[in-house]
Amino acid sequence: MRILLIEDSDRLRELVSEAIRDAGWKIDALPTAELGRSALVDREYDLLLLDLGLPDEDGIDVLKSLRAAKMQMPVLILTARGAIDERIVGLDAGADDYLAKPFHNGELIARIRALMRRAPVTTMPVLEYGAIQMDVASRRVTCASAEISLAPSEKDLLELLMRNGGKVVGKAKIEHAFSEFGDERSSNAVELAVSRLRRKMDGHQTNCSIETIRGVGYMMRQVSD
């Protein structure tokens, strides 16, 4: 899952980003509405964390414009405006949830998980391929009820391959999915992640294999017992 945070406080961006990464998700954290809008054009996000007191534009106006453009991703407002009438304004503008500052990171993560569980079916909160199941919100991966212990990068890779089961996923697409702004991943990092994921899958009856499509990328396919 990739999250966009638009927040002008350097310290809060740092703290929230750390909590998001610890939960196993990707995050792009930007300080202005202008940069946030540009990111939304360039990348697809599963969730938006939006501050209202941005230096270049009110967050409510950003939210209204996104909803007017039919952007359906969940939006969680993070703001110091905690009065009930201000919360009503935010929710009426199209927010899915509202968290007043200061907040505990544990509550933030719990609210994100709740939003993803309520998200449209197209987000596929539980992925299944072969004998593997992945709960996208909790990031728990199981095979025949036994948990498969994976590093965050391995879970990212597995999710991408499962969502594209039976189709070739190009190396460039995997590198893009792995990366955050200012932290682009190399082809070598992708190859290492694929190798580690294969070894861990070999310890379970997943009924799946990850094939290398030479010069192109990788494909997960189902195999018979």
CATH number at residue 75: 3.40.50.2300
Instruction: State yes or no: pLDDT of 219 exceeds 50.
Output: yes
Boundary-marking domain end, from 121, 156, 173: 121
CA distance 29 to 26: 10
Cα(181)–Cα(137) distance, rounded to whole angstroms?
Answer: 23
Q: Are residues 64 and 97 in the same domain?
A: yes
Closest Cα partner for 117 from 98, 138, 88, 87?
138
Q: Indicate which CATH number applies to the domain containing 133.
A: 1.10.10.10
Q: 86 and 141: one domain?
A: no
Which range, 111-115, 117-121, 174-178, 181-185, has the best average confidence (pLDDT)?
Answer: 111-115
% of the chain with per-residue pLDDT over 70: 92
Q: 6, exposed or middle or buried, with CB in 10 Å at 0-12, 13-18, 19+?
A: buried
Length of the chain: 225
Domain co-membership, 59 together with 155: no
Instruction: Give me the number of domains the chain comprises.
Output: 2
Are both 178 and 107 inside the same structural domain?
A: no
Q: How far apart are CA 218 and CA 170, in angstroms?
A: 7
Answer with the one of 101, 121, 141 that is the final residue of a domain: 121
Tell me the pLDDT tens digit for each residue of 44-63.
889 999 999 999 999 999 99
Same domain, 6 and 117: yes
79 and 103 part of one domain: yes
In the numeric block, which tokens belong to residue 65?
A: 């414009």
Residues 130 and 116 in one domain: no
Residues 81 and 160 reside in one and the same domain = no
Give 91-123 as a DSSP string. Answer: HHTT-SEEEESS--HHHHHHHHHHHHHHS-GGG
**Shared-domain flag, residues 107 and 17:** yes
80: number of Cβ within 10 Å: 12
Residue that is last in its domain, among 57, 87, 121 = 121
Same domain, 11 and 108: yes
**What pLDDT, in 10s, does the model give residues 134-156?**
988 778 899 988 999 998 888 88
Instruction: Write the pLDDT tens digit of every residue in 153-177.
Output: 888 889 889 989 999 998 888 887 7
Strands 47-51 and 168-170: unpaired
Do 97 and 15 reside in the same domain of the chain?
yes
Radius of gyration of the chain (CA): 19
| Beta-carbon-side half-sphere exposure of residue 83 (alpha carbons within 13 Å) | 3
Q: Residue 87's domain spans which residues?
A: 2-121
Residues 59 and 136 grouped into a single domain: no
Which residues have C-beta within 8 Å of that of residue 8, sequence separation ≥ 6?
Answer: 31, 32, 51, 53, 54, 55
